[in-house]
């Protein structure tokens, strides 16, 4: 008989959290610290969602995606996790761009970008200052129809090169395009520009281990290998509300569900169309998911070393930046995340993770033979591109492997294998959820400020506050009024 | 509870949310945001802590009352009194 991954759990929880991305983990931790009984369920054998890692024979450890985030993460991690975890956040100072239009090294902050834009790109200092100041003042509540592309044309008309410098890194950070509302660019870019790019020293494995220990300390029941199949509802005073979940074939009762699954999965698969009004279902169906990613993982043989060529290296052979070209099956745009031994103090190992934006449809349509051949092409092209910066790298590579949008779909169950959540309109569906089906909440990447690593942690807290408020009101109502 | 007691409770909360800030010289009438490095998440944390520590609920529509120490005291003191 198969092992019972739910062995020993209780019959009822205040909150069941579906999924252990950084939003789900953080929401679970905050709610447990508020005194609620929390059960966190993750289908994979490892926590973290996309904030995860894997190991391979030969001592290779590959970090999937926590390659860079803004300084605001230090404060959020300190407040919602611990000082100890926040202390492991360090700056990545070597950000490089190499493409046919320019080649620069930068610390990726406002001061250095201003210097580069003025000295190298010859943009008037006043324009740069105005751009940064206006961007900083952008407010999520202002409904401005301007797209990122239109905004660039307003400040930097005819400057394809400036547009590339500003847009390319953010496209890798949150999947936004030149056609998305300007705020999808503005908030994430401003967050980075405040002090540069940061990462966790010790790697994703150490981070997630520390977070798991914190969850345990705060009383969260964490179970892996558990697939939530369905969110259960019951009629209550003529209205449907959340009653529990079915997980690994077993019903678990709860007052509230916090879904860290993709918003479309949450509405259309987990709760199901029957739980909502036809109008809300139509809204959820109309939400566009963002693009996905491919990655190539290169493990360097023990004993070999690599020269320092930067921490995050944005490379492309495209003549100019284009959002369409960036996700094309044959794109030449790649970001190299270079892992030197100091990533994991005490280690002597080097690894390279190559990120390439991609479209799920392209990869999902392939036959098994095409799929294998295209993955091999991806690996070959990535090594060839890296050889331009490290000529003798090929002989040092011991492990090579590729992931595609199908890999992301398999490990995260995200709708259409998206690696950046949804477009702008997903936020409204996410925020309206508890009004549509009382007891159901969602925290995940849904456009603009709620995307990117900092956004996802903070959104987990925002939703945890709503749940805590609802549960506190319920507990108050349950206490009989004193005479 | 007096307004001064109320201010002290709010400062206790802020000192946990923003441990690096010097809270000894806060001007009660000046917006907290203009004297301290507080962002919208920090204000959400104040709301959560008021609920956790004191069972006080601040509806979203009333968040603006938390702008300064003085407006906090004005708004929260009657709520504390109602709990007593």
- Selected for mutation to probe chain A from B15, B41, B49 (highest A CB count within 10 Å) is B41
Q: Do B47 and A34 touch (CB under 8 A)?
A: no
Q: Which residues of A touch B47 (CB under 8 A)?
A: 465
Burial of residue A124 (CB within 10 Å: 0-12, 13-18, 19+) is exposed
Alpha carbon of B44: minimum distance to chain A alpha carbons (Å): 8
Query: What is the rounded CA–CA span in Å between residue A460 and residue B42?
Result: 14
Q: How far is the CA of A119 from the CAs of A114, A115, A116, A196, A326, in angstroms?
A: 8, 6, 5, 19, 27
Quote the pLDDT of residue A483. 41
Class of domain A53-91+291-412: alpha beta
- Selected for mutation to probe chain B from A29, A76, A79, A455 (highest B CB count within 10 Å) is A79
- Give the pair of three-digit tokens for residue A453: 């690593």
Q: How far is the CA of A215 from the CAs of A18, A40, A132, A221, A223, in angstroms?
A: 15, 10, 39, 8, 12
Residues B15-59: tens digit of each pLDDT:
999 998 999 999 999 999 999 989 889 999 999 999 999 999 999
Residues 6+ apart with CB under 8 A from A365: none
In this complex, the residue of A79, A469, A473 whose CB is nearest that of residue B45 is A79
Quote the pLDDT of residue A482. 53
Q: How high is the mean pLDDT of chain B?
A: 93
Contact A193, A111 (CB under 8 A): no
Q: What is the pTM of this model?
A: 0.94
Count of A-B CB contacts under 8 Å: 26
CA-based nearest residue to A457, from A221, A200, A91: A200
Q: Is 3.50.50.60 the CATH number for A12-45+224-286+421-478? A: yes
In this complex, the residue of A34, A75, A473 whose CB is nearest that of residue B52 is A34
Query: What is the rounded CA–CA span in Å between residue A107 and residue A96?
Result: 9
Quote the pLDDT of residue A449. 60
Q: Which residues of A touch B57 (CB under 8 A)?
A: 469, 472-473
Question: What CATH topology corresponds to B3-83?
Answer: 1.10.1200
In this complex, the residue of B41, B51, B57 whose CB is nearest that of residue A76 is B41
Residues 6+ apart with CB under 8 A from A368: none
Residues A65-97: tens digit of each pLDDT:
888 899 999 999 999 999 999 999 999 999 999
- Give the pair of three-digit tokens for residue A189: 């870019």
- Give the pair of three-digit tokens for residue A14: 């205040």
Q: What is the pLDDT along chain A (483 residues), one digit of tens a residue?
A: 689 999 999 999 999 999 999 999 999 999 999 999 999 999 999 999 999 999 999 999 999 988 889 999 999 999 999 999 999 999 999 999 999 999 999 999 999 999 999 999 999 999 999 999 999 888 766 778 899 999 999 999 999 999 999 999 999 888 889 999 998 899 889 989 989 999 999 999 999 999 999 999 999 999 999 999 999 999 988 899 999 999 999 999 999 999 999 999 999 999 999 999 999 999 999 999 999 999 999 999 999 999 999 999 999 999 999 999 999 999 999 999 999 999 899 999 999 999 999 999 999 999 999 999 999 999 999 999 999 999 999 999 999 999 999 999 999 999 999 988 999 899 999 999 999 999 999 999 997 666 688 999 999 999 999 999 999 999 888 876 554
Quote the pLDDT of residue B83. 83
Quote the pLDDT of residue A66. 84
Helix-helix angle B40-54:A452-478, to 10 degrees: 20
Q: Do B57 and A473 touch (CB under 8 A)?
A: yes
Alpha carbon of B2: minimum distance to chain A alpha carbons (Å): 25
- Selected for mutation to probe chain A from B51, B61, B64, B83 (highest A CB count within 10 Å) is B51
**Residue A468 in contact with partner chain B when CB distance is under 8 A:** yes
Where are chain B's structural domains?
A: 3-83
Query: What is the rounded CA–CA span in Å between residue A324 and residue A171?
Result: 11
What's chain A look like in SS3? CCCCCCCCCCCEEEEEEECCCHHHHHHHHHHHHCCCCEEEECCCCCCCCCCCEEEECCCEEEECCCCCECCHHHHHHHHHCCHHHHCCEEEECCEEEECCCCEEEECCCHHHHHHHHHHCCCCCHHHHHHHHHHHHCCCCCCCCCCEHHHHHHHHCCCCHHHHHHHHHHHHHHHCCCCCCEHHHHHHHHHHHHHHCEEEECCHHHHHHHHHHHHHHHCCCEEECCCCEEEEEEEEECCEEEEEEEEECCEEEEEEEEEECCCHHHHHHHHHHHHHCCHHHHHHHHHCCECCEEEEEEEEECCCCCCCCCCCEEEECCCCCCCHHHHCCCCCCCEEEEEECHHHCCCCCCCEEEEEEEECHHHHHCCCHHHHHHHHHHHHHHHHHHHHCCCCCCHHHEEEEEEECHHHHHHHHCCHHHCCCCECCCHHHHHHHHHHHCCCEEECCCECHHHCHHHHHHHHHHHHHHHHHHHHHHHHHHHCCCCC
Alpha carbon of B66: minimum distance to chain A alpha carbons (Å): 17
Alpha carbon of B48: minimum distance to chain A alpha carbons (Å): 6
Contact A220, A36 (CB under 8 A): no
* Residue A58: how many other CB atoms lie within 10 Å: 12
CA-based nearest residue to A446, from A264, A258, A189, A197: A264
Q: How far is the CA of A378 from the CAs of A295, A368, A373, in angstroms?
A: 9, 15, 9
In this complex, the residue of B17, B41, B48 whose CB is nearest that of residue A468 is B48
ipTM above 0.95, yes or no: no
- Selected for mutation to probe chain B from A32, A465, A476, A477 (highest B CB count within 10 Å) is A465
Where are chain A's structural domains?
A: 12-45+224-286+421-478, 53-91+291-412, 109-195
Quote the pLDDT of residue A450. 62
DSSP-assigned beta bridge partners for residue A181: A147
Contact A99, A318 (CB under 8 A): yes
3-state secondary structure of B43: helix
Q: How far is the CA of B44 from the CAs of A24, A58, A340, A346, B84, in angstroms?
A: 18, 46, 38, 39, 24
Residues 6+ apart with CB under 8 A from B45: A79, B13, B17
CA-based nearest residue to A94, from A310, A350, A353, A313: A310
């Amino acid at each position: 008989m198969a092992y019972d991954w739910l062995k020993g759990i209780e019959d009822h929880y205040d909150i069941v959290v579906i999924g252990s991305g950084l939003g789900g983990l953080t929401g679970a931790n905050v709610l447990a610290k508020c005194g609620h009984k929390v059960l966190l369920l993750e289908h994979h054998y490892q926590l973290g969602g996309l904030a995860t890692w894997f190991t391979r024979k030969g001592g290779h450890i590959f970090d999937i995606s926590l390659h860079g985030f803004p300084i605001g993460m230090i404060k959020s991690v300190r407040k919602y996790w611990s000082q100890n975890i926040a202390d492991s956040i360090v700056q990545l100072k070597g950000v490089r761009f190499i493409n046919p239009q320019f080649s620069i090294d930068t610390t990726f902050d406002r001061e250095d970008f201003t210097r580069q834009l003025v000295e190298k790109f010859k943009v008037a200092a006043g324009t740069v200052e105005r751009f940064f100041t206006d961007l900083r003042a952008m407010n999520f509540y202002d409904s401005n129809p301007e797209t990122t592309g239109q905004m660039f044309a307003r400040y930097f008309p005819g400057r394809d090169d400036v547009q590339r410098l500003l847009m390319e890194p953010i496209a890798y950070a949150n999947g936004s395009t030149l056609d998305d509302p300007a705020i999808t660019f503005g908030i994430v870019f401003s967050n980075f520009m405040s002090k540069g790019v940061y990462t966790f020293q010790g790697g994703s494995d150490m981070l997630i281990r520390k977070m798991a220990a914190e969850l345990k300390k705060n009383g969260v029941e964490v179970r892996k290998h558990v697939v939530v199949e369905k969110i259960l509802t019951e009629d209550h005073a003529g209205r449907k509300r959340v009653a529990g979940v079915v997980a690994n074939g077993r019903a678990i009762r709860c007052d509230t569900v916090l879904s860290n699954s993709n918003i479309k999965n949450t509405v259309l698969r987990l709760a199901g169309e029957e739980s909502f009004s036809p109008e809300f279902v139509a809204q959820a169906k109309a939400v566009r998911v963002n693009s996905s990613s491919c990655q190539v993982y290169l493990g360097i043989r023990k004993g070999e070393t690599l020269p320092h060529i930067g921490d995050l290296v944005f490379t492309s052979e495209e003549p100019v930046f284009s959002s369409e070209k960036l996700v094309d099956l044959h794109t030449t745009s790649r970001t190299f995340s270079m892992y030197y031994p100091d990533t994991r103090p005490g280690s002597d190992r080097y690894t390279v993770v190559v990120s390439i934006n991609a479209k799920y449809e392209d990869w999902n349509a392939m036959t098994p033979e095409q799929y294998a051949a295209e993955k091999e092409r991806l690996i070959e092209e990535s090594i060839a591109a890296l050889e331009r910066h490290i000529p003798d790298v090929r002989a040092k590579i011991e492990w090579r492997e590729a992931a595609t949008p199908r890999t992301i779909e398999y490990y995260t169950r995200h709708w259409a294998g998206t690696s950046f959540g949804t477009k702008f309109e997903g936020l409204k569906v996410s925020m309206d959820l508890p009004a549509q089906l009382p007891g159901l909440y969602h925290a995940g990447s849904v456009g603009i400020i709620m995307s990117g690593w900092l956004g996802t942690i903070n959104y987990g807290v925002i939703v945890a506050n709503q749940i805590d408020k609802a549960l506190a009101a319920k507990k108050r109502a349950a206490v009989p009024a004193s005479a | 509870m007096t307004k001064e007691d109320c201010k002290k409770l709010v400062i206790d909360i802020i000192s946990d949310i923003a441990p690096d800030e010097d809270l000894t010289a806060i001007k009660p009438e000046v917006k907290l945001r203009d004297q301290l490095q507080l962002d919208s998440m920090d204000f959400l944390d104040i709301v959560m802590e008021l609920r956790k520590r004191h069972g006080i609920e601040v509806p979203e529509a009333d968040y603006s009352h938390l702008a300064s120490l003085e407006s906090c005291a004005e708004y929260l003191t009657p709520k504390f009194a109602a709990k007593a």
